[in-house]
Amino acid sequence: MGSKGCKLDYEGAICSCGYGCKYRDERIAILKAEVEQLKGDLDAALIWIREAKDK
């Protein structure tokens, strides 16, 4: 980043750069949605693997 007074919080949102942390909640919501999607994909893959093994 390099700009003085800028830092990233652990979610990767821009903080103390004149923005405050206004992107933080939005970023967390996106990450949570992505995690839920991945969980669904993983569950589907596990079911497919179990069914394939049973054949």
**Would you say residue 38 lies in a domain?**
yes
**Would you say residue 1 lies in a domain?**
no
CB atoms within 10 A of CB 14: 19
**Would you say residue 2 lies in a domain?**
no
**Would you say residue 37 lies in a domain?**
yes
Beta strand 7-8 with 14-15 is antiparallel
Instruction: State pLDDT tens for residues 8-44.
Output: 555 555 555 555 555 667 777 888 889 999 999 999 9
**Would you say residue 49 lies in a domain?**
yes
**Would you say residue 21 lies in a domain?**
yes
User: Into how many domains does the chain fold?
Assistant: 1
What letter represents residue 5's amino acid?
G
Contact 11, 31 (CB under 8 A): yes
The structure's pTM equals 0.48
Where helices occur in 1-55 by DSSP H, the ranges are: 24-54
What's the maximum distance between 2 C-alpha atoms anywhere in the chain? 61
Q: Please measure the distance between the N-terminal and C-terminal CA atoms of the chain and give it in whole angstroms.
A: 54
Name the residue range of residue 33's domain.
7-54
